[in-house]
Amino acid sequence: MIPHLIPIGALLAGIALLLLGTGLLNTVLALRGSLEGYTDATLGLIGSAYFVGFFLGTFVAPPLIRRMGHVRAFAFFAAATAACVLLHALVVSAPVWMVLRVITGIALVGLYTVIESWLNSEVPTERRGQVFAIYMAVNLGALAAAQQLLRLGSPAEFTLFAVAAIFVCLALMPVTATRLPPPVLTDSPRLGLGQLWQAAPVACAGAVLSGLAMGAFWGMSAVYGNRIGLDESGVALLITLSILGGALLQWPIGLFSDRVDRRYALGLVAAAATAASLLWAVFGNFGEVVLIAGFLFGAAAFALYPIVVAHLIDHLPREHILSGNAGLLLLHGAGAAVGPAVAGVLMGWFGPVALPLHFALMLAPLAAFALWHARRGKDEIVEDAAHFMPMLRTSATVLEMMTPAEASIESAPPPAETTIESTADAPVASEPETESETAQTTRT
């Protein structure tokens, strides 16, 4: 396995450095906004703006990558991200921050797409599952570690913004230095939402509701910690433990979902996340208990979307897996874009307790809907059962890494009659358009 990781070490280092910077920024903005006196509703809109940008990046980023080439596109998006990081500190204004968050979301989609398309092209098919697991571990580890960088300074000062920008700039070095040849972006058209609902209504509901919950988690957890009186270290610990809970328990939960009716597993996990949310709401003023509740919530909530993806794949023929998951991720992205704004408004009305209650209000209906469908009859799997894989929402190009070979081949563009030897930063103007979100589950 090590010989396969060495060539892509620069890509993994680049994404780790990038997420150390952007993961820190997400938390710093919430804390700085609180210090500036922004209302919870305003902070929720700022959080939603990032996911709106992520959604728009689905359409904006791929054409830019085709025009510039992978290395130049990565440099372009990283420069935009670093500039936005610094502008947050220089121009402290809620409307400006919202615009900057939209731009950052678009840029992050482009950065993910560049990295993941390279991973897809460089990793042998038989090793893609292992590399994908390592890639997701790097993502989770970097996001968790980023929270601890809050100890380096105060959100009221320029230091943390500078640290975040430095990490984003450092991410340029390993990626732009790589000599890997540029890959080809493949097309991943979406199935219609009506077709998705007919194939797997539980998966569609799960995508939207988990997006509403997790978008609010990423956008408003730091605000919640600030509102209940946690200092910067306490906020960092709460978010870190939630991420670690998701990282540690996705595998055992996934194994369980592979062995039972997937709808039943989804219902139980959503119910567990709901219970953890209620524990969080009731005991949110007790430091130790809120940390435990955050860990338990992360352990269950981070597993919801991977189960949803696996359930959808159970109900699609191989040739529709790529397009089906792209559509599913559109639903999840829409939920994530709305979630922080809704949670912010609720927190403005009812106080910080509204955030864990928002989680419960989103996930309890999912639990009920999934369990109700499970009781209606046996789950009919179209071809082979899917295999759960832990994941985070990044870019749809990573879907190819976890998709059956037959589906990837059928959806890929025809090979060119001739090939042209190129350098790492050569433009790839002939690459077909791609979608930019995640789906990473493969059939056994």
The helix-helix angle for 321-350 and 354-376 (nearest 10°) equals 140
Share of the chain above pLDDT 70, in %: 80
Nearest Cα to Cα of residue 430 among 136, 198, 187, 212: 187
Q: Are 154 and 160 in contact (CB under 8 A)?
A: yes
Write 351-356 long-range contacts (CB < 8 A, 24+): 351/227, 352/223, 352/224, 352/227, 352/228, 352/284, 353/281, 353/284, 355/216, 355/220, 355/221, 355/223, 355/224, 356/224, 356/277, 356/278, 356/280, 356/281, 356/284, 356/293, 356/297
The confidence score (pLDDT) of residue 68 equals 87
The confidence score (pLDDT) of residue 421 equals 36
d(CA 282, CA 189): 44
Q: Please say if the pLDDT value at position 122 is more than 90.
A: no
- Most confidently predicted of 249-258, 261-270, 315-324: 261-270
83 is in which domain, residue-wise?
2-411+428-443
Structure-token match 């025809």, residue found: 414
Asked if the structure places residue 419 within a domain, the reply is no
pLDDT tens string 259-291: 888 899 999 999 999 999 999 999 877 778 899
378: helix, strand or coil: coil
Asked if the structure places residue 329 within a domain, the reply is yes
Q: Please say if the pLDDT value at position 51 is more than 60.
A: yes
Asked if the structure places residue 172 within a domain, the reply is yes
And the tokens for 137?
Answer: 């571990």
Asked if the structure places residue 417 within a domain, the reply is no
Q: Burial of 284 by CB count in 10 Å (0-12 exposed, 13-18 middle, 19+ buried)?
A: buried
Read off the pTM.
0.84
User: Domain tally for the chain?
Assistant: 1
Asked if the structure places residue 342 within a domain, the reply is yes
Asked if the structure places residue 160 within a domain, the reply is yes
Q: Using DSSP bridges, classify how beta strands 386-387 and 442-443 pair: parallel, antiparallel or unpaired.
A: antiparallel
Mean pLDDT over 406-415 rounds to 43
The helix-helix angle for 128-148 and 232-259 (nearest 10°) equals 160
Asked if the structure places residue 416 within a domain, the reply is no
Average pLDDT, the chain: 83
Q: Are 401 and 116 in contact (CB under 8 A)?
A: yes
Mean pLDDT over 341-355 rounds to 96
The one-letter code for the residue type at 71 is: V
Supply the CATH number for residue 136's domain: 1.20.1250.20
